[in-house]
Structure 1
Amino acid sequence: MKKVFVALVAGLLVGGSATSAPAEAATGGRHSYTGVIDGAEYRVETPADWNGTLVLFSHGYYPPDFPIQDILVANAEESEEWLLDHGYALAASMYQDDGVGYLVEDAIQDQLALLDWFEANLGRPHRTVVTGQSLGVAISTLLVERYPRRFDGLLTLCGAYDPLNTFNTALDVNFAVKTLLAAGEDIDLVGAADPVASRDAMVAAVDRARTTPQGQARLALAAAFGNVTGWYFSLQPKPTDPAGWIQQQVEWVKWAKVYGNGPVAFAGIAEVAGGNPLWNAGVDYARQLTRSSQHDAVRRAYRDAGLDLRADLATLAAAPRIAPRPGAVRYMYQYGVPVGRTPVPVLSLHTTGDGGASPDQERWYARQVRRAGDPGQLRQLYVERGGHCSFSAAEEVTALRALLAKVETGRWPETSPGRLNAAANGFDPHFHQVLDLGTFTKGVLPPGFTRYTPPTTPRPSR
Structure 2
Amino acid sequence: MPRNASPFRRAPAPRTRRGRSRLTKHRRAATTVGVVLLAALLGPAGSAEAALEHTAAASHVEGVLPDGSPYVMDVPANWNGTVLLYSHGYVPDNSSNPARNAPSDYARDALLEAGYAQIGSSYPETGWVVEQALPDQLATLDKFQARFGPARRTIAWGTSMGGMITTGLAERFGGRFDGAVAMCGLEQGAVANYNNGLDTIFAIRTLLAPGSTAPLVRLPDQATALASAAELTAALDAAQATAQGRARIALAAALRNTPAWTNPAQPEPDADDYDTAQRNQFEILHQVITQTLTWRQDAEEHAGGNMSWNTGVDYARILAHSPNRQEVEELYARSGMSPRNDLAALDAAPRITADPTAVSYMSRNISFTGRLTKPMVSIHTIGDPLVPVQAEQAYAEAARDAGRSPLLRQAYVHRAGHCTFTTGEMLAAVRTLEHRIGTGQWPDTGPAALNRLAAELDPTAIHAYATYRPDPYPRPFQLPL
TM-score by length of 1: 0.87
In the alignment, the residues of structure 1 paired with residue 69 and residue 99 of structure 2 have an alpha-carbon distance, to the nearest angstrom, of 11
| One-letter code aligned to 1:60 | G
| Cα distance, 1:4–1:227 mapped onto 2, change above 3 Å | closer
Query: Within 5 A, what are the aligned runs for 1:343-362?
Result: 343-362=373-392
Note the C-alpha offset of 1:282. 1.3
In the alignment, the residues of structure 1 paired with residue 139 and residue 199 of structure 2 have an alpha-carbon distance, to the nearest angstrom, of 36
| One-letter code aligned to 1:148 | G
Any conservation in 2 of the 1:3–1:68 contact (CA below 8 Å)?
A: no
What RMSD over aligned residues (CA atoms) do the two structures have, in Å? 2.0
In the alignment, the residues of structure 2 paired with residue 43 and residue 182 of structure 1 have an alpha-carbon distance, to the nearest angstrom, of 47
Note the C-alpha offset of 1:246. 1.0
Structure 1 partner of 2:160: 134
1:175 and 2:202 correspond: yes
| Cα distance, 1:316–1:63 mapped onto 2, change above 3 Å | farther
Note the C-alpha offset of 1:389. 0.7
1:152 and 2:178 correspond: yes
Structure 2 partner of 1:308: 338
> What are the superposed Cα offsets for residues 205-237 of structure 1, whole Å, 9 maximum, x if unpaired?
223333333222111101111111111112332
1:52 and 2:81 correspond: yes
Q: How many residues align?
A: 421
In the alignment, the residues of structure 1 paired with residue 437 and residue 411 of structure 2 have an alpha-carbon distance, to the nearest angstrom, of 17
1:287 and 2:303 correspond: no
1:86 and 2:118 correspond: no
In the alignment, the residues of structure 1 paired with residue 84 and residue 297 of structure 2 have an alpha-carbon distance, to the nearest angstrom, of 33
1:120 and 2:142 correspond: no
Note the C-alpha offset of 1:94. 1.2
Note the C-alpha offset of 1:393. 0.3
Structure 2 partner of 1:448: 464
| One-letter code aligned to 1:111 | Q
1:278 to 281, 292, 308: 308
- SS of the equivalent of 1:183 reads coil
Query: Within 5 A, what are the aligned runs for 1:10-409?
Result: 30-37=58-65, 38-64=67-93, 67-68=95-96, 70-97=98-125, 100-161=126-187, 162-193=189-220, 194-240=224-270, 241-255=273-287, 257-260=288-291, 262-409=292-439
> What are the superposed Cα offsets for residues 387-443 of structure 1, whole Å, 9 maximum, x if unpaired?
11110001110111010000011011112211221222224555x3xxxxxxxxxxx
> What are the superposed Cα offsets for residues 363-398 of structure 1, whole Å, 9 maximum, x if unpaired?
111111122242211111111111111100011101
In the alignment, the residues of structure 2 paired with residue 4 and residue 374 of structure 1 have an alpha-carbon distance, to the nearest angstrom, of 30
| One-letter code aligned to 2:107 | S
> What are the superposed Cα offsets for residues 149-192 of structure 1, whole Å, 9 maximum, x if unpaired?
21001101012121211111111011111111122334101123
Note the C-alpha offset of 1:287. 1.6
> What are the superposed Cα offsets for residues 15-51 of structure 1, whole Å, 9 maximum, x if unpaired?
xxxxxxxxxxxxx953322222112122222223111
- SS of the equivalent of 2:382 reads strand
Any conservation in 1 of the 2:414–2:465 contact (CA below 8 Å)?
A: yes
Structure having the larger proportion of residues in strand: 1
| One-letter code aligned to 1:141 | T
| One-letter code aligned to 1:86 | A
Any conservation in 2 of the 1:4–1:68 contact (CA below 8 Å)?
A: no
In the alignment, the residues of structure 1 paired with residue 141 and residue 102 of structure 2 have an alpha-carbon distance, to the nearest angstrom, of 16
- SS of the equivalent of 1:362 reads helix
Structure 1, unmatched stretches of 5+, are 6-27, 433-445
- SS of the equivalent of 1:165 reads helix
Moved more, 131-140 or 168-177: 131-140
> What are the superposed Cα offsets for residues 257-281 of structure 1, whole Å, 9 maximum, x if unpaired?
2122x22222222211121111111
| Cα distance, 1:282–1:63 mapped onto 2, change above 3 Å | farther
| Cα distance, 1:210–1:32 mapped onto 2, change above 3 Å | farther
Note the C-alpha offset of 1:107. 0.6
Any conservation in 1 of the 2:70–2:98 contact (CA below 8 Å)?
A: no
Note the C-alpha offset of 1:202. 2.0
Note the C-alpha offset of 1:76. 2.9
In the alignment, the residues of structure 2 paired with residue 209 and residue 62 of structure 1 have an alpha-carbon distance, to the nearest angstrom, of 31
- SS of the equivalent of 1:341 reads coil
| Cα distance, 1:360–1:2 mapped onto 2, change above 3 Å | closer
Any conservation in 1 of the 2:450–2:465 contact (CA below 8 Å)?
A: yes
| Cα distance, 1:68–1:214 mapped onto 2, change above 3 Å | farther
- SS of the equivalent of 1:426 reads helix
In the alignment, the residues of structure 2 paired with residue 108 and residue 2 of structure 1 have an alpha-carbon distance, to the nearest angstrom, of 17
Any conservation in 2 of the 1:93–1:111 contact (CA below 8 Å)?
A: yes
Indicate the structure whose relative CO is greater, using CA pairs within 8 Å and at least 6 residues apart: 2
- SS of the equivalent of 1:244 reads helix
- SS of the equivalent of 2:77 reads coil
In the alignment, the residues of structure 2 paired with residue 298 and residue 30 of structure 1 have an alpha-carbon distance, to the nearest angstrom, of 56
Structure 2 partner of 1:17: none
Q: Percent identity?
A: 40
| Cα distance, 1:428–1:358 mapped onto 2, change above 3 Å | closer
In the alignment, the residues of structure 2 paired with residue 192 and residue 332 of structure 1 have an alpha-carbon distance, to the nearest angstrom, of 16
Any conservation in 1 of the 2:306–2:354 contact (CA below 8 Å)?
A: yes
| One-letter code aligned to 1:275 | G
TM-score by length of 2: 0.83
| One-letter code aligned to 2:284 | W
